[in-house]
Amino acid sequence: MRDPVTIFHLSDIHFGIEDNDALDWVKAEIDRHRPDAVAITGDLTLRARRHEFSAAEKWINSIDVPVTIEPGNHDLPGYHLPSRYLRPLGRFEAFRELVERRLEVDGIALVPLNTNVSAQPRLNWSKGWITLRALQDCLAQIDALPSGTRVLVTAHHPLREAGTHGTALTRNGAKALEALARRKVLGVLSGHVHDAFDIMEETPSGPVRMIGAGTLSHRIRSTPASFNELTWDGETLCVIARNMEGVSTHDMMVEEVPEDALPPREEGEPVAPVRHIPRTDPPVE
């Protein structure tokens, strides 16, 4: 039996409103378990400000395992339109080589799929949009991998709604999922909705597993700050959502995706209470 590959899937740290207790805990877990890779699926910052990126850089540089980062909608300059159009990822300059980075570890490849665009023909630009070029880039990278390589796609927005309180409403998500189903990817990792999930999505070309990580910021929705721990033993991909109260079981429901997207939470509407889940993992030392 091979040694399992372990990947820590983090998302939505939102430096600016980051949860430092949660980040200290995650860093200690990374140091203790030394995963083969850390995948961060976007929204590193709150408003793409320089001091937020500096804090992100400092924290990411403290991790000494391979890291790949997907940009999120919060990481594009929001108020400076020329930068948003001409250099949407310009603020990542200090660690640009980690962004949209393909990582290969022991038969598993993490392949990026960009779900952000600089502008959209709809009012809410925070939602996901997969351009033809972004999809082609992702598929070309998958198709170029050595045969037998298993693929985890990293994206910021879930490609379809996952029944969470927050929504992604990703345009062209269904088309992307179908193309990924044809390639039999192991799963699509995403963030954005600030709650963890793990569901199978049916497409005309077969099922695709969609795995979402929660947030490590104070902007929680229905569940506490958390990250996902993925292990692959060559046959089974095991996903657990971990938070400081314990390992979530309730938040990792495998169920059908509802037909209708849930409406986004209104400004000022109270956040649902945090579920307290019995601790089942070893206490942090």
Least distance between Fe ion and beta carbon 156 (Å): 6
Q: Using CB under 5 A, which of 5, 7, 10, 12 touches Fe ion?
A: 12
Site string for Fe ion, 62-81 (x = CB under 5 A): ----------xx--------
Least distance between Fe ion and beta carbon 278 (Å): 28
Segment lying near Fe ion (by CB under 5 A), choices 25-33, 39-47, 86-94, 142-150: 39-47
Least distance between Fe ion and beta carbon 155 (Å): 11
Phi, psi of 167 (to 5 degrees): -125, 160
Q: Using CB under 5 A, which of 91, 101, 160, 192 touches Fe ion?
A: 192
Residue 226 as a binder of Fe ion (CB under 5 A): the answer is no
| Closest by CA position to 102, among listed 139, 63, 147, 74 | 139
Which whole-number Å values give the CA distances from 249 to 32, 127, 183, 281, in the listed order?
A: 23, 28, 29, 12
* Residue 10 or 230 with smaller CB distance to Fe ion: 10
Least distance between Fe ion and beta carbon 12 (Å): 4
Q: At what angle do helices 132-143 and 173-182 cross, to 10 degrees?
A: 10
* Residue 68 or 170 with smaller CB distance to Fe ion: 170
Whether 104 contacts 71, CB under 8 Å: no
Strands (E), 83-236: 103-105, 108-112, 150-154, 187-190, 197-203, 206-212, 226-232
Binding residues (CB under 5 A) for Fe ion: these are 12, 43, 72-73, 192
